[in-house]
Amino acid sequence: MRANPYAQYQSIDLEAKVESASPHGLIGMLYEGFLTRVAQAKAAMLAGNFEQKGINVTKAHNILGGLKDGLNPEHSPELAERLGELYDYCQRRLLDASAQRDAEGFDEVASLIRDIKEAWDAIEPEVAQMAQAS
């Protein structure tokens, strides 16, 4: 059986992006990956493909776990605590939405993380300036 050349290209392209990304960029990629997986889970659910829904929910759930593990309470304890609580809520809500086949639940967690991603993306120029200055 031959591997899908497009899938191979995507894998190589992703590896290249990860290798060249800044720490700030990597977090942005995780947010984007989460949003993609939630959208795919919702679409799979609506199409009746519950196996694919489960795969994407698990991947989205794991991304939130990775984001939570990457929080640095030494830098900003209050921000780390609040983001940790948000990630915990989103994990619970995502699993509940999956179990209940609740499209609005998928939309809710996507909206919450999209807001965080937009704020994260907005500070990228400042982060780049700080990196150049040091």
Contacts of 102 (CB under 8 A, 6+ apart): 96
Residue 24: which pLDDT band, with cuts at 50, 70 and 90?
A: confident
Residue 40 or 8, more confident? 40
Q: Give residues with Cβ within 8 angstroms of 40, minimum separation 6.
A: 52, 56
pTM (two decimals): 0.82
> pLDDT confidence of 96, banded at 50, 70, 90?
very high
Q: Which domains does the chain have, with CATH numbers?
A: 17-133 (1.20.120.340)
Q: Cβ distance 95 to 61 under 8 Å?
A: yes
Q: What is the residue type of 44?
A: A
Report pLDDT digits (tens) over 41-62.
999 999 999 999 999 999 999 9
Which SS3 state, helix, strand or coil, does residue 63 take? Answer: helix
User: In this structure, how many other beta carbons lie within 10 angstroms of the beta carbon of residue 51?
Assistant: 8
